[in-house]
């Protein structure tokens, strides 16, 4: 005889209705397997890349005493170039050449320590010889011009490249460092240009006006950074835009005042033009050096020697201003 099934259809439906319902596996907020009392972790919110970038930016503080020291150095450098140019005479040019050679040595040491080119010791020796040759030609050449200095710079650059080709590690870096080597050689030769200008008509006045404008621009900019370094040009660069603008304005104003007391064809307008160009060039070179140092710091490279790092800007600025003074004396004042 067939036995009676204890689980008839009505009882099965009643048990199914009374059983707790379980969401399908994989549904958000459930645990497919394991302990049902364990609460799954909520998904993390994606990080905001702007917040991460803001946390990584390091704001470099402005050091007041350091800014004042750089301002004093720039002012003294400008005064030295002005006094030397004014005291230079046909029978007394070598004292000014000695002053310029001292500035060339400072430029050489500061830029080599800051940029660390391949074969740095060899380049220092070669550029030292280049500085002596450039000063000698600036004083004793038959015609006072840039042609002897250009050949000197070209020879020095070629010798520096040959020195970098000797050793394997230096040779591997020459493709990326030739611009650095060229900047060092050209800067050393550029400091012989004021001596060439003192031997030309209106050259001494051009040196005085441009050096005064550049010196005032750098001195005012750095001194203003010590008191009011705002608004910041960049968080990684300890400079303020107020000092840069104010320095360029006062440098132009001072050059216009010098133009009013110098001999013709100088006028206040022509002095202002020379001063504006010199002040802008000096300010931009000084800022470029600061940005270059910030870039090396962000790249994780070893920081340069502190004295060379802080002298690099004013020395590079006056080197380029000397070349600009020569161009203005021949293409604008004539």
Taking residue 313's Cβ as centre, other Cβ atoms within 10 Å add up to: 27
- The total number of residues shown for the chain amounts to 334
Task: List, for residues 261-291, the tens digit of each pLDDT value.
Answer: 887 778 899 999 999 999 999 999 999 999 9
Task: List, for residues 39-51, the tens digit of each pLDDT value.
Answer: 555 555 555 555 4
The DSSP call for residue 89 is B
The residues facing 234 across adjacent strands are 237
Q: Where are the alpha helices (DSSP H) in 165-240?
A: 168-190, 193-198, 203-227
3-state secondary structure of 7: coil
In angstroms, the CA 248 to CA 218 distance is 8
- Rounded to the nearest 10°, the torsion over CA 283, 288, 289, 294 is 130
Task: List, for residues 204-247, the tens digit of each pLDDT value.
Answer: 999 999 999 999 999 999 999 999 988 988 888 889 999 999 99
Nearest to 60 by CA among 241, 303, 296, 234: 234
Say if residues 185 and 154 touch (Cβ distance below 8 Å).
no
Class of residue 291 by CB neighbours under 10 A (exposed 0-12, middle 13-18, buried 19+): middle
Given this model, what pLDDT does residue 105 score? 94
Residue ranges of domains in the chain: 73-331
In angstroms, the CA 152 to CA 266 distance is 32
Return phi, psi of residue 92, to 5°: -145, 60
Q: Which positions ≥6 away from 100 have C-beta within 8 Å?
A: 84, 135, 191, 192, 194, 195
- 9 pLDDT band, cuts 50/70/90, is low
Pairing of strands 232-234, 237-240: antiparallel
Q: Where are the alpha helices (DSSP H) in 116-167?
A: 120-140, 147-164
> Does residue 96 register a pLDDT over 70?
yes
Return phi, psi of residue 2, to 5°: -70, 140
Q: Which positions ≥6 away from 257 have C-beta within 8 Å?
A: 268, 271
Integer-rounded Cα radius of gyration of the chain: 34
Class of residue 292 by CB neighbours under 10 A (exposed 0-12, middle 13-18, buried 19+): middle
- 292 pLDDT band, cuts 50/70/90, is confident
């Amino acid at each position: 005889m067939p036995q009676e099934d204890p689980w008839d259809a009505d009882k099965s439906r009643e048990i199914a209705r009374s059983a707790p319902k379980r969401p399908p596996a994989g549904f958000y907020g459930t645990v497919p397997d394991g302990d049902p009392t364990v609460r799954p972790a909520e998904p993390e919110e994606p990080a905001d890349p702007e917040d991460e970038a803001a946390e990584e930016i390091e704001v470099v503080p402005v050091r007041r005493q350091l800014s004042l020291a750089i301002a004093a150095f720039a002012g003294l450098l400008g005064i030295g170039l002005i006094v030397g140019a004014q005291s230079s005479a046909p029978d007394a040019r070598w004292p000014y050449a000695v002053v310029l050679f001292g500035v060339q040595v400072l430029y050489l040491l500061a830029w080599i320590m800051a940029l660390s080119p391949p074969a740095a010791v060899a380049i220092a020796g070669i550029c030292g010889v280049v500085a002596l040759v450039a000063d000698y030609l600036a004083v004793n050449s038959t015609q006072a011009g840039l042609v002897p200095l250009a050949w000197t710079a070209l020879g020095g650059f070629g010798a520096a490249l040959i020195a970098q080709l000797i050793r394997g590690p230096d040779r591997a870096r020459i493709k990326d460092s030739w611009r650095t080597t060229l900047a060092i050689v050209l800067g050393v030769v550029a400091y012989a240009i004021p001596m060439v200008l003192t031997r030309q008509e209106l050259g001494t006045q051009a040196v005085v006006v441009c050096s005064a404008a550049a010196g005032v621009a750098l001195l005012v900019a750095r001194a203003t950074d010590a008191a009011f370094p705002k608004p910041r040009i960049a968080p990684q660069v300890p400079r303020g835009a107020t000092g840069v603008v104010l320095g360029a304005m006062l440098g132009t104003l001072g050059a216009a005042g010098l133009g009013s007391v110098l001999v013709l064809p100088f006028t206040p307008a022509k002095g202002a033009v020379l001063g504006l160009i010199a002040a802008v060039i000096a300010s931009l070179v000084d800022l470029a050096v600061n940005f270059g140092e910030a870039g090396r710091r962000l790249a994780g490279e070893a920081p340069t020697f502190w004295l060379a790092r802080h002298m690099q800007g004013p020395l590079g600025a006056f080197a380029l201003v000397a070349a600009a003074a020569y161009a203005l004396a021949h293409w604008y004042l004539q």
